[in-house]
């Protein structure tokens, strides 16, 4: 938990939270995470239960706050661009997402594997329906997509050269609500020379789409790692910290796997990340770390 403690007590995060009125409590790591999580729900949560891509923000930021938000991206691990540290991975997991994120993540996974070996590749997705305007943006690589699962499969086809019309096997459960369905499609990538599994994870929260934790738990059911397995997770830069904590909690700790998480460089984004999105993902990281610390405390 040393890394969590170092992150949450980073001077930049402390200065940023203070600039918005947070009063840091005295106490142990769980106390700080609990206080910051509860406080950030009111001050940094722009989603309000919706999708992060549709979150809006009308507040005015001071020059100091904008400078601290920019510095936080650098100091809190939200700029991406890091390279894998190992030469061989038992599993590379590419997390699904919205808009162009699945394509960028697959492209970065492909680049990261150049000169490295992977035994398996997993594509994690869900039945989340495309957002308004999303179909037009993704048409260049996923013309027929209707949901998040379709996006990650199409991104893999464009990047890894899989033939989506020639799958090796398929397992599925049906449900009238796509958020409750599960689906696994197995492919082979001639470019990577490894099997690729595309996963449509069911939600654990009735009425909501599957989140990162749901997809990771479903991955553990489909691909249970041996103790000591090395797992490389690939995502977007602003999601690295919170999704790393989620994967460590629900995959690494549960199966004694070694988890490493990287994100594509922020320069790959089509436009700058708005300040409220950065604050939202800092809050996501705080919440995920709080959940991780609580799980560790119970072990």
Q: Report, as ranges of residue numbers, the positions in the chain whose pLDDT lies below 50.
A: none
Tokens of 73: 């991206």
108 and 203 share one domain:
yes
- Residue-wise burial string across 218-256, b where 16 or more C-beta atoms lie within 10 A, e elsewhere: bbbeebebeeebbbbbbbbbbbbbbbbbbbbbbbbeebe
Q: Distance of alpha carbon 160 from its chain centroid, rounded?
A: 20
259 and 119 share one domain:
yes
Give residues with Cβ within 8 angstroms of 39, minimum separation 6. 17, 22
124 and 233 share one domain:
yes
Longest dimension (CA), the chain: 58
Angle at 246 between CA 241 and CA 250, to 5 degrees: 155
Instruction: Tell me what pLDDT residue 167 has.
Output: 82
42 and 161 share one domain:
no
Tally of CB atoms within 10 A around 115: 8
Whether 270 is covered by a domain: the verdict is no
206 and 138 share one domain:
yes
- CATH of residue 161: 3.40.50
Instruction: Tell me what pLDDT residue 90 has.
Output: 98
Whether 251 is covered by a domain: the verdict is yes
Total structural domains in the chain?
A: 2
Tokens of 152: 């990650």
Whether 104 is covered by a domain: the verdict is yes
241 and 112 share one domain:
yes
Whether 128 is covered by a domain: the verdict is yes
Strands 230-235 and 88-95: parallel
190 and 281 share one domain:
no
Q: Whole domain around residue 13: which residue ranges?
A: 2-78+276-298
281 and 248 share one domain:
no
pLDDT tens digit sequence for 3-34: 999 999 999 999 999 999 999 998 999 999 99
pTM confidence score: 0.96
Instruction: Tell me what pLDDT residue 51 has.
Output: 81
Whether 269 is covered by a domain: the verdict is no
119 and 46 share one domain:
no
43 and 107 share one domain:
no
Is residue 106 within 8 Å of 125, Cβ to Cβ?
Answer: no
Whether 292 is covered by a domain: the verdict is yes
115: left (phi over 0), alpha (psi -120 to 50) or beta: left
Whether 83 is covered by a domain: the verdict is no
166 and 115 share one domain:
yes
Whether 49 is covered by a domain: the verdict is yes
46 and 148 share one domain:
no
- Note the helical H segments in the chain: 2-8, 11-19, 29-43, 63-75, 101-112, 134-138, 148-160, 212-222, 240-247, 253-255, 275-298
Instruction: Tell me what pLDDT residue 134 has.
Output: 97
SS3 labels along 51-76? CHHHCCCCCCCCHHHHHHHHHHHHHC
């Amino acid at each position: 938990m040393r890394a969590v403690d170092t992150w949450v007590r980073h001077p930049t995060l402390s200065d940023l939270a203070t600039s918005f009125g947070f009063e840091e409590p005295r106490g142990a790591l769980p106390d700080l995470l609990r206080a910051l999580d509860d406080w950030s729900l009111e001050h940094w949560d722009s989603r309000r239960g919706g999708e992060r891509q549709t979150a809006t923000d009308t507040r005015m930021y001071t020059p100091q706050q904008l400078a601290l938000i920019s510095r936080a991206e650098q100091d809190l691990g939200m700029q991406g661009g890091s390279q894998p540290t190992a030469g061989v991975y038992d599993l590379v997991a590419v997390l699904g997402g919205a808009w162009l994120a699945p394509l960028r993540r697959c492209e970065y996974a492909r680049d990261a594997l150049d000169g490295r070996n992977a035994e398996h590749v997993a594509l994690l997705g869900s039945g989340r329906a495309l957002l308004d305007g999303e179909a037009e943006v993704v048409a260049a690589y996923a013309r027929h997509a209707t949901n998040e699962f379709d996006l990650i499969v199409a991104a893999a086809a464009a990047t890894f050269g899989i033939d989506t019309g020639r799958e090796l096997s398929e397992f599925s459960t049906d449900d009238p609500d796509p958020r409750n369905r599960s689906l696994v499609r197995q492919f082979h990538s001639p470019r990577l020379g490894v099997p690729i599994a595309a996963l449509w994870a069911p939600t654990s929260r009735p009425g909501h789409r599957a989140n990162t934790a749901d997809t990771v738990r479903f991955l553990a059911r489909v691909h249970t790692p041996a103790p000591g397995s090395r797992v490389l997770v690939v995502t977007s830069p602003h999601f690295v910290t919170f999704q790393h904590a989620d994967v460590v909690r629900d995959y690494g700790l549960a199966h004694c796997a070694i988890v490493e998480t990287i994100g594509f460089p922020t320069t790959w984004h089509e436009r700058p990340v708005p300040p409220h999105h950065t604050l939202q993902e800092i809050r996501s990281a705080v919440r995920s770390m709080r959940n991780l610390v609580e799980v560790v405390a119970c072990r």
